Amino acid sequence: MKPSPAMLALVTDAYRGRGGIAQYNRDFFEALAEAGLLSITVLPRQAPDSSGMPEPVEQLQARPGRIAYSVAALRTALFRIVDVVFCGHLFMAPLAALIARLKGAKLIIQAHGIEAWPRPSRIQRMATERADLVLCVSRYTRAAVLSWAAIAPDRVLVVPNTVREVFTPADGSAQRVALGVEGKRVLLTVGRMDSRERYKGHDRVIAAIPDLVAKGHDICYMVVGEGDDRARLEALVRNAGVSDRVRFLGDVGLQSLIEIYRAADLFVMPSTGEGFGVAFLEAMASGTPALGLATAGAKDALADGELGTSTSEAELSVAISRLLHQAKPDSFDLARAVRARFGREKFVAMADQVLNRLTERDSDNPNAVFGESLISHADRP
C-alpha cells in the first residue's frame, strides 16, 4: 500500500449530518487528514444540513435509497483509486467488503453501539470477519463484536469519541438569567427524543424529580433535543405534576448549547444503550459534572468514575441528590482532565496509529502503536 492511501468512506452521514455518529465520522476523517491521509472520499446516505468540510475531504451527493446508494458506491469505486474502504455502519459491511475485495483494498468497519450488540446476519458477520480492522467506540461494543465475530482480538480496537475544542468552561450565570433559572438546581440532558431510542433515560430523570423536590432541591430539568418521542415525554411530565420544573428547549445552535452546558449544575443521561455518549464529554469539557448509569459504553465516557459519576437505575435519585449537595468540582480542572483523555490531540494520535496498522509501518509489533488508550483499556472488564 502507498504511504498515503486513498480512502472511500461509506457512511450513513458525516458532513451536513446530525447526531453522534455523524460527528464521530467528521472527527475521524479530519484526524486522518491531519495524520497524513491526503485523499478521503465520503459517500453518505443522508446530508440534511449545509456545512463545509476540510480541504482533503470530498463528500459526494447523498444517496438515501439502498439500491441507489449501492450503485453509487460501486460506480465511485470503479473510477477511483481506493486503497482503504471505511464502513461507518454495520449494515453497510457486506457492500464495503465487496468493494474492498474488488479493489484489493484494506477494510475498516466501524462499530458504535446498539447496531453491533446483538448477533447480526450471517452476511454481516462474514464481512466483519474479513475486515483488517474493526474500530469500536467503547469496550462494551468491542466485547459484543468479539462475542459473535470469528476475528483475531488484536484486529478489534477501541477508538473512543473525542470532544471538540469549542466546549470550554466559563461563567454560566448570564445564561441562567436568560433562561430564568437563577437560584434553581439545574439538571440537563442533551439527546434525541426518538421513539426508537427511549433508552436515553429522559423518563428516568422525570420520574426522579418529585423525590428530589421532596428532599429540598429546587429542581429545573432542561432537555435539549428534538424527536418524535417529545409528545410522550411532555405527557409524562404533566402526569408527574412537574410541568413547572421541566423545560423542553428543542434543538439549539452550537454556541447556545455550549452556554447551556455551562449553566447546568449537573448533566444527567441515565441511558441503558449508549455506545459511548459524547454528550458526557461535551458537558464535562464545559465544566459541568456528569452522571450516567454504570452500563454499556457510558462507563468509558465517564472513565469508570475518574471523570464522571455512574450509578444504578435504582439509585439514580439518590445519586443526583448526593451530587447536588456536594460542591461543584473546579470546572477548569474537570475540563483539563477530559481533554487529557479524550481531546483532539489524543484522537489524532489514534488516527495516526490506525494508519500505521493499515500501512504496516510497525509490523514488528502491531499492538505497541496503540498504547494504553486502545489496548489495555479495551481489555478491562
% of the chain exceeding 70 in pLDDT: 92
Band of residue 56 on the pLDDT scale cut at 50, 70, 90: confident
Strand 246-250, strand 219-224: pairing: parallel
Q: Are 33 and 355 in contact (CB under 8 A)?
A: no
What local confidence, expressed as pLDDT, does residue 16 receive?
A: 85
Task: Tell me which of 69-73, 141-145, 257-261, 361-365 is least confident.
Answer: 361-365
- As a whole number, mean pLDDT of residues 218-224 equals 98
Rounded CA separation 205/16 (Å) = 31
What local confidence, expressed as pLDDT, does residue 381 receive?
A: 36
What local confidence, expressed as pLDDT, does residue 37 receive?
A: 81
What local confidence, expressed as pLDDT, does residue 369 receive?
A: 31
- As a whole number, mean pLDDT of residues 193-200 equals 90
Rounded CA separation 142/140 (Å) = 5
Rounded CA separation 85/41 (Å) = 10
The residues facing 188 across adjacent strands are: 222, 267
- As a whole number, mean pLDDT of residues 86-103 equals 97
% of the chain exceeding 90 in pLDDT: 85
- As a whole number, mean pLDDT of residues 39-66 equals 84
Q: 71 CB contacts (<8 Å, ≥6 apart)?
A: none
Q: Are 336 and 19 in contact (CB under 8 A)?
A: no
CA distances from 4 to 7, 232, 265 (A): 9, 50, 46
| Domains in the chain with CATH codes | 6-162+343-376 (3.40.50.2000), 173-340 (3.40.50.2000)
Q: Are 35 and 66 in contact (CB under 8 A)?
A: no
> Does the structure show a pLDDT above 70 at 177?
yes
Grid-cell match 491521509, residue found: 37
Q: Are 267 and 188 in contact (CB under 8 A)?
A: yes
Band of residue 283 on the pLDDT scale cut at 50, 70, 90: very high
Query: In whole angstroms, what separates CA 255 from the centre of its chain?
Result: 19
- As a whole number, mean pLDDT of residues 152-170 equals 97
> Does the structure show a pLDDT above 60 at 368?
no
More confident: 19 or 292: 292
Task: Tell me which of 75-84, 189-198, 237-246, 372-381 is least confident.
Answer: 372-381
Q: Are 151 and 270 in contact (CB under 8 A)?
A: no
Average pLDDT, the chain: 91
> Does the structure show a pLDDT above 60 at 366?
no
Band of residue 52 on the pLDDT scale cut at 50, 70, 90: low
Band of residue 55 on the pLDDT scale cut at 50, 70, 90: low
What local confidence, expressed as pLDDT, does residue 362 receive?
A: 40
The model carries a pTM of: 0.90
